[in-house]
Amino acid sequence: MEQLLQHFRESEKAFVEECHHWANEVDEQYIPKLTSFLNPRERYILKTIVAQHGLLYASEGGFEGAENKRVLIYPSYHEPTVEDFDIVVFELRYPTKFVQLTHREVYGALMNSGIDPTRFGDIVFQGERVQLAVASDLQTFFKLNFTEVGRTKVLLEQVEKPYFVSQRTLEERLIFVSSLRLDAIVSEVANISRQRASKLIQGEKVKLNWTVTTSNAQTVQLEDMISIRQHGRFYILRLEGTTKKDNIRLVVGKLTG
C-alpha cells in the first residue's frame, strides 16, 4: 500500500485508500460495488487499483461522452448492465421564452441546494434545453430540493431514454516541456511565458482537477484536468517519451465545443 501511495499526490491519498477499501469489499463479499460520480482523474486512480486486485471495472454517466461517471467494480462472474449504474436523467422545465440558463447558473443552484456534487453527473445543454444525470436513489430529494435556478422556477422531469450527447470533444496536441511542473505545462498549452503562467497560478486563475491550486511546482500526471481562466480546459492524455534534449513529449487535449 505504501509503495502504491508514492505514485499519487498527498492530496489524493485519502481517495486512494477509499478505492482500496472498495476493492477489498468486492474481494471479500464477491458482489459488485457501485461508486458515486467520479471525474476522469478519479476513475484513472480507481481503475489502476482495481486492476491490482484482479477485479473488473465499468463506467456509465447517463450520456454518450459523459465526463463524470459512476463506476461499477465487479468480480468476473458478473455481467454489467445499464441498470447496474442506478442513474436517472432529468430534463429541466423552465420558461424558455423569458429565460436562458447557463451551465454555471445550473451548477451553482445545485450546490446552493445542498446537494452533494458526487451525486450528480454532467449537466448537458442542447440549445435552450437542459438535462442532468443524477443518482437514482436521490431522485426524490432532487425533485424536492432543486426547484430554482437563480430566480427562475424549474421542474425536473425524468427522461426515459437520454439522447443528448455530452460535448467533451478534445483537440489533441503534442507539446514539449522541460518538466511536468504545472507552471511549465500552463505556459506551453496557453502559449504564454513561464512568468505569466506563474502569475496566473499564484493569482488563483488555474484549477487542477477542478480545484484551485497556487503551487507552481505541482507535478501534473496522466488524466489530470487543467483549467486556465480565459484559455480553456486541457487534459493530460499521454506521455510519449523524451527528445534527444531530454524534453518530455506530452499529448494534451483541449476541450472544444
Per-residue pLDDT tens for 76-111? Answer: 999 999 999 999 999 999 999 888 898 889 999 998
Architecture of domain 169-256: Roll (3.10)
Tell me which residue of 78, 16, 20, 44 sits closest to 220, measured CA to CA: 44
CB 178 within 8 A of CB 248: yes
Per-residue pLDDT band at 160 (split at 50, 70, 90): confident
Overall average pLDDT of the 154-173 stretch: 80
CATH of 2-84, one of 3.40.50.12140, 3.40.50.300, 3.10.129.10, 3.30.1370.160: 3.30.1370.160
By percentage, how much of the chain surpasses pLDDT 70?
Answer: 94
Cα dist from 144 to 65, 114, 139, 156, 179, whole Å: 28, 12, 9, 9, 49
Per-residue pLDDT band at 156 (split at 50, 70, 90): very high
What is the model's pLDDT at position 115? 87
Task: Provide the sign of the torsion angle of the four alpha carbons 6, 14, 135, 256, taken in this order.
Answer: negative
What is the model's pLDDT at position 211? 85
Per-residue pLDDT tens for 194-240? Answer: 999 999 999 999 999 888 899 999 999 988 999 999 898 899 999 99
> Cell 465487479 sits at which residue?
74
Q: Which residues does 70 contact at the CB level (< 8 Å), separation at least 6?
A: 34, 35, 36, 37, 38, 59, 60, 61, 85, 86, 87, 121, 135
What is the model's pLDDT at position 4? 52
CB 170 within 8 A of CB 255: yes
CATH for 87-159 is 3.30.70.330
Overall average pLDDT of the 7-25 stretch: 90
Q: Give yes or no for residue 163 having a pLDDT over 90.
A: no
Q: Give dist(CA 253, CA 257) in Å, integer.
A: 13
Per-residue pLDDT band at 126 (split at 50, 70, 90): confident
* Residue ranges per structural domain of the chain: 2-84, 87-159, 169-256
Query: Using alpha carbons only, what angle is made at residue 26 by residues 22 and 32, rounded to the nearest 5 degrees?
Result: 100
